[in-house]
Amino acid sequence: MTSSTFLTQEAAAAIGVLRSALRGAVLAAPDPAYDGARRIWNGAIDRRPAVIARCADDNDVAAAVRIAREHDLPLSVLGGGHDWGGRSLREGGLVIDLSAMRGVSVDPRTATAAVQGGARAGDVVAAAHPHGLAPVTGLVKAVGMAGLTLAGGYGLLIGAHGLALDNLLSARVVLADGRTVTASADDNPDLYWALRGGGGNFGVVTAMSYRVHPLDTVLSGLVLFPITQGRTVLRGYRELIAEAPDELTVMTGFFGGPDGRPLLFLLPAWIGDQTRGEGIVNRLRRLGTPVTGQVGRIAYQDVLGQFDPSVVNGRHTEVRTRWLTELTEDSIAMLVTAMTRVTSPFSALFIHHFHGAAARVPAAGTAFALRRDHVLVEIVASWDTSSPAGAGGGSTHGRWARALSEGLAKHALPGGYPNLLGGDEHERALRSYGGNLARLLELKRQFDPDDVFTAVPALHPAMTGNLTK
């Protein structure tokens, strides 16, 4: 045990019980694997749980939940580890680590995928690809599929097939009382409704069944423009997505170029007729004078690797976000200006396109309530503390992200995307549920009355009084 680690009597007792009860590994501070197990994507997170239970199966998960409660340990669930706020790790708590539960199997006859709770998006894509099928995922392969799904799941198939959560057919869940139940349209339908947008507030999702779609290749690729053309290109982007058919979803944003100067990117995904798609892609290129524009038919799984160089484990990161009905002249100016003043070459903006099938789901159909066309602005401040790019520390880079978010607030819809909100943004997270909040709170009281599971956002009654009056 290190000098900076102190185990309470209850925590020490819990470790002993866990080691006798679980098939999987149980890691505490003296164990060589402990430090590696508590490191997640965001290097700014340096929390020391009392114990990490690397569960091997559902029985391990149920035992870990029971033992955490019996020994009064705060509980958290670690899937892909890409929540920038680090809520998968609680200081002095018990972490249910699902990283050993990453199995995926695909049934091409039913076009479904059976996915364990620790699987990454890339695991599901890789399993579906040999069958000419694709799941709805985000853009980063390393992100946990369960965490992505439970709060939303924006991606390049959103126009044709909705959010990731719209493709969740069922889930196996370990509840706070230790029971394992199935949630689907037929079994525990209220829980199924809550899981699709309510985050991990209701239990530990150990397995999921997803709808996957016939899709081998897409017309896609990055079209890059100098930042000096940012306003012109974003105006054209606004016009193009306003009339985009379901077959087309286009992401845009900014990231650092090879010379350190930001570039604006367009990333289209067209899954319809080839000839028609080529016309649309040519229109994208004509929005400005591209630095490069490598677009063609590529495997869907390769599209998801476009941002891998930007999503590096260990960098320090702060994320802010806004929902906008559209990119107004003012918001376009703010975005471009912010990127000309960016404080780190690793920082970026990602603008996600929400439309089509996702927008046709009734607002009350799932806990995720924002079902109108919009764009999601993701503001990512990222810096490497071991290089000159980290000069100024987190306060400088985080302040850049917060200032842009605050500037966009006057153009924004209420609430925000829970998967990207910070721990200091409880009210915004709760407002994201709109008219669904009251039902979600009632189901929280039903399935987790003792608030064992605290996820994104935390559904604490004390935080919601003013919102439900």
Segment 138-195, tens digit of pLDDT: 999 999 999 999 999 999 999 999 999 999 999 999 999 999 999 999 999 999 999 9
DSSP lists the bridge partners of residue 299 as 217
d(CA 135, CA 40): 25
Indicate if 231 and 205 belong to the same structural domain: no
Q: What is the pLDDT of residues 356-380, one digit of tens each?
A: 999 999 999 999 999 999 999 999 9
Sequence length of the chain is 469
Residues 118, 189 share a domain: yes
Q: Is residue 467 a part of any domain in this protein?
A: no
pLDDT surpassing 60 at residue 3: no
Can you give the CATH number for the domain in which 80 is found? Answer: 3.30.43.10
Residue at a domain's end among 74, 97, 120: 97
Q: What is the residue-averaged pLDDT of the chain?
A: 92
User: 224 pLDDT exceeds 50?
Assistant: yes
Strand 51-54 relative to strand 94-97, pairing:
parallel
Residue 456 pLDDT > 80: no
In this structure, the answer to whether residues 201 and 306 fall within a common structural domain is no
Q: Which of 179, 196, 214 is the last residue of a domain?
A: 214
CA distances from 301 to 86, 132, 149, 298 (A): 27, 11, 18, 8
Q: Answer yes or no: are the C-beta atoms of 96 and 76 closer than 8 Å.
A: yes
Q: Which residues of 26-36 are buried (b: 16+ CB within 10 A; e: fewer)?
A: bbbbeeeebee
Query: Does residue 373 lie in a domain region?
Result: yes
DSSP 393: H
Do 224 and 370 lie in one domain? The reply is: yes
What does the pLDDT average to over 118-132? 97
Residues 322 and 288 in one domain: yes
* 264 and 352 part of one domain: yes
Q: Say which DSSP state 202 is in.
A: S
How many independent structural domains does the chain possess? 3
CB 464 within 8 A of CB 458: no
pLDDT of 469 strictly over 50: no
Q: 123 lies in a domain?
A: yes
Half-sphere exposure of 450 (CA within 13 A, CB side): 13
Q: Same domain for 365 and 279?
A: yes
- Give yes or no for residue 200 having a pLDDT over 70: yes
DSSP 22: -
- Indicate which CATH number applies to the domain containing 132: 3.30.465.10
Q: State the alpha helices, DSSP H only, in 243-328.
A: 274-285, 300-303
b/e map of 322-343 (b: 16 or more CB within 10 Å)?
bbbeebeeebbebbbebbeebb
| Helix and strand element counts for the chain (H, E) | 14, 20
CATH label of the domain that carries residue 236:
3.40.462.20
Residue 189: give the domain boundaries. Answer: 104-214
pLDDT, residue 4, reads 42
Residue 1 is assigned to a structural domain of this protein:
no
Within this chain, do residues 49 and 63 fall inside the same structural domain, yes or no? Answer: yes
Let me know: does 149 contact 136? Beta carbons within 8 Å.
no
CA distance 160 to 353: 12
Entry pTM: 0.94
